[in-house]
Amino acid sequence: MIRVGDKVIDKQKIYRAVDRLLEYRASGLSQQEVATQIGVDRAFVSKLESMGEVRRGKRIALIGFPIKNKDEIAQVASSLGVDLVILMTDAERWQYVREKSGEVLINELMRLMSAVKRFDVVIFIGSDMRLRLVEAILGSKVVGVEIGTSPITEDKYVDPELIRETISQLKVKDGHKIDQT
């Protein structure tokens, strides 16, 4: 609790309301629908979002395999606000393929390709052959980071600073870097 003038305010109640507001917005409700649900003006919802906005603009996906330091690369991507991160080691990618029937695997890959097409930019980390394949499917929205000649049969170390710089360059808007805090 906190006292403001002659009022006693429950900070936790405010935090819970903001959490609900953001969950509603993330689920696809409009600002007006959320404002009605929470009992505030639509302008309040807009201002609250603006206060917390980290970046605006391109939706970025990062996909790659086989990556030795995938957790480190995922942390870099997360810290820079990348919207989708799918990284696998060599063992994980083969486990993913071997555990599924052909039909299930094809359906999952089609679903993934459809989902990834909605991103403005896809950073793909992989072999030369896989990179060419992803570029053929997704076109100019792909930014490639080649980690070897196909077939790659072992995990490859990916320089986190290269990924950080790649993501940062993609976030340049009108000659100014977008806030990445």
pTM: 0.68
Angle (CA) 102-108-110 rounded to 5° is 100
Convert the pLDDT of each residue in 131-152 to its tens digit: 999 999 999 999 999 999 999 9
Count the neighbouring beta carbons within 10 Å of the beta carbon of residue 124: 22
Architecture of domain 60-177: 3-Layer(aba) Sandwich (3.40)
ω into residue 151 within 30 of 0, thus cis?
yes
The Cα–Cα gap between 54 and 51 comes to 9
In this structure, are residues 100 and 73 in contact, taking their beta carbons and an 8 Å threshold? no
In this structure, are residues 158 and 87 in contact, taking their beta carbons and an 8 Å threshold? no
Sign of CA dihedral 117, 90, 128, 151: negative
Whole-number pLDDT of residue 56: 60
Whole-number pLDDT of residue 131: 97
Residue linked to tokens 């906005």: 53
Paired tokens of 116: 């990834």
Strands of the sheet containing 121-126, edge to edge, are 84-87, 60-64, 121-126, 142-146
* Total residues belonging to the chain: 181
Percentage with pLDDT > 90 across the chain: 82
The Cα–Cα gap between 112 and 86 comes to 10
Convert the pLDDT of each residue in 112-132 to its tens digit: 999 999 899 999 999 999 999
Residue linked to tokens 């049969």: 153
11 CB-near residues (< 8 Å, 6+ apart): 1, 2
Convert the pLDDT of each residue in 24-74 to its tens digit: 998 889 999 999 999 999 999 999 988 876 556 689 999 999 999 999 999
Domain boundaries, the chain: 2-52, 60-177
